[in-house]
Amino acid sequence: MIEISTDINKAKKILENNELVAIPTETVYGLAGNIYSETAIKKIFETKKRPFYNPLIVHIHNKKLIDEIAINIPEKARILADAFWPGSLTLLLEKNNKIPDIVTAGRNSVAVRVPNHPLTLELLKALNFPLAAPSANPFGSISPTKAQHVADYFSNDIAMVLEGGNCENGIESTIIGFKNDQPIIYRLGSISIEEIEVLVGPLKVKNHSEKLPESPGMLSRHYAPKTKTILVEDIEKELSLHANKRIGVIVFKTIIDKTNINYTEILSEKGDIKEAMSNLYAAMHRLDKLKLDLIIAQKFPEEGLGKSINDRLERATKE
Ligand code: TXA
Ligand code: MG
């Protein structure tokens, strides 16, 4: 049975034993293992049922460790690491030979970040290896933002979730890579494009799904509830089309007429986009448990973090 606990020493021992621990970060919970242990890394892929072609993010506790993970680091990558680490930015860099191929799925590049959660930073400091950690959910399903979400998914598969409370940002990190030293966004996330552009100039966005995406995790269906989900601009109009169905609704601030709705998730009463982002996945988890006929989500304003939220909602609607 899985244990939910704040015991860092226990987490450390489990990880040193080539086993997995789910760790809190400021984005989502991760399913962590020693990057240098093939046994542990294989367990990550098996537990998540994640295909081996989809590489993992390496988590370190201090940006100075970046040179042990990557080589030929572009100047703009260092600027971004200085500005955002610890925090929700993942850098795709040329990999150091020390990084095992299984972590990067045989790629020449490695994804790396310093997460911003006090317990996980303390754990990483206590360990003498970095942690590979994808989000702690089965491949394709909604990412966990509470320890209990992880326990619901993996109660028989892993020994421990390090209890770190609700994830503050609530969606995954923003992933940035470089071509000829020019930054490219491969995954929208909890740091907005605008915040990054202030520091390094205009960005290319390659967040869209392709047959063989450069960031292979960007398959179109992802972060998806089991319940059929649609994303619309006009929630009132959509509701009028679905009489006699059991419906759950996800909205940003508020809605006018609730007569037709069984369950409403208002992500931020006061209209704060960061608060809405932080509540998004927990709302999806709750609605998905209710065995509704349909979830209708309201599109967010296409600016700043609204773009990242819309990205996750769009992926949740793909068949
Ligand atoms: O916020 C986050 O980034 C969370 C927390 C736990 O840190 N982690 C996370 O990991 O979202 P995961 O595995 O669910 O998503 C990582 C994404 C995947 O889309 C993967 O394909 C991409 O990063 N990725 C990892 N290494 C890569 C590489 N070497 N080249 C291209 N894409 C890579
Ligand atoms: Mg994931």
What's the pLDDT at 211?
Answer: 46
Question: In the prediction, which pLDDT does 68 show?
Answer: 97
Tokens describing residue 311: 């990205």
> Ligand 1: does its nearest atom lie under 6 Å from the Cβ of 132?
no
Do residues 132 and 262 share a domain?
no
CB 134 less than 6 A from any atom of ligand 1: yes
pLDDT of 210: 46
80 and 198 both lie in a single domain: yes
Q: How confident is the model at residue 45 (pLDDT cuts 50, 70, 90)?
A: very high
Q: pLDDT tens digits, residue range 127-162? A: 999 999 999 999 999 999 999 999 999 999 999 999
pTM of the model: 0.96
Q: Which residue has the higher pLDDT, 221 or 202?
A: 202
Task: Please indicate, yes or no, if residue 198 is contained in any of the structural domains.
Answer: yes
pLDDT of residue 155: 96
Is 55 a pocket residue for ligand 1 (Cβ < 6 Å)?
A: yes
The whole-number average pLDDT for the span 172-186 is 95
**Is 224 domain-assigned?**
no
| 204 Cα–ligand 2 center, Å | 22
List residues, by chain if needed, whose CB lies under 5 Å from ion ligand 2: 135
Whether residue 215 lies inside any domain: the answer is: no
- Asked if the model's pLDDT at residue 179 lies above 80, the reply is yes
Percentage with pLDDT > 90 across the chain: 87
User: How far is Cα 184 from Cα 188, in angstroms, rounded to an integer?
Assistant: 11
Is the domain of 57 the same as that of 110?
yes
Residue that is written with structure tokens 């049922």 in the block: 49
Ligand 1 atom at shortest distance from the alpha carbon of 50: 13
Q: What does the pLDDT read at residue 214?
A: 63
Q: Is 25 in the pocket of ligand 1 (CB under 6 A)?
A: yes
Residue 119 pLDDT: 98
Work out which ligand 1 atom sits closest to the CA atom of 30: 6
Place of tokens 């109660």: 155
Q: How many domains does the chain have?
A: 2
**Rounded mean pLDDT, 165-181:** 97
134 CA to middle of ligand 2, Å? 6
Percent of the chain with pLDDT over 70: 94
Rounded Cα–Cα distance for residues 222 and 65 (Å):
31
Say if ligand 1 is within 6 A of residue 164 CB.
no
Helix, strand or coil, per DSSP, at residue 231: strand
Banded model confidence at residue 218, pLDDT cuts 50, 70, 90: low
The bound ligand whose nearest atom lies closest to the alpha carbon of 223 is 2
Alpha-carbon dihedral sign for residues 181, 170, 283, 150: positive
Give the separation between CA 131 and CA 128, rounded to whole angstroms: 10
Do residues 147 and 182 both lie within one domain? Answer: yes
* Averaged pLDDT, 242-265: 85
Supply the Cα-derived Rg of the chain in whole angstroms.
Answer: 19
Average pLDDT over residues 158-185: 97
Query: Average pLDDT, stretch 72-101?
Result: 98
Q: Are residues 42 and 84 in the same domain?
A: yes
Helix (H) or strand (E) holding 184, with range, is: strand 182-187
**Per-residue pLDDT at 188 exceeds 60:** yes
CA–CA distance, 30 with 147 (Å, rounded to integer): 10
Please tell me the distance from the alpha carbon of residue 246 to that of residue 277, in angstroms, as a whole number: 25
Ranking 4-13, 104-113, 214-223, 286-295 by mean pLDDT, the lowest is: 214-223
> What is the predicted pLDDT for the residue at 240?
87
Which residue lies with its CA nearest to atom 10 of ligand 1?
Answer: 134
Task: Name the DSSP class of 141.
Answer: B
Residue 22 near ligand 1, beta carbon < 6 Å: no
In the block, which residue shows the tokens 């754990």? 123
Do residues 198 and 236 share a domain?
A: no
Same domain (yes/no): 105, 20:
yes
Return the H-helix or E-strand segment holding 305. Answer: helix 305-317
- Residue 261 included in any domain: yes
State CA 258 to chain mean position distance: 31
> What pLDDT is attached to residue 208?
67
| pLDDT value at residue 217 | 57
Residue 276 belongs to a domain: yes
Average pLDDT, the chain: 94
Peptide bond into 225 cis (omega under 30): no
111 lines ligand 1 (CB under 6 A): yes
Domain containing 97 equals: 3-205
Report the C-alpha gap between 123 and 125 in whole angstroms. 5
Answer whether residue 233 shows pLDDT above 60: yes
CATH number (domain holding residue 291): 3.40.50.11030
Q: Please give the ipTM for the structure prediction.
A: 0.99
Atom of ligand 1 nearest to the CA of 31: 6
* Closest atom of ligand 1 relative to the 109 alpha carbon: 29
Are 43 and 191 within one domain? yes
Distance, in Å, from the CA atom of 228 to the CA atom of 213, rounded to the nearest integer, reads: 25
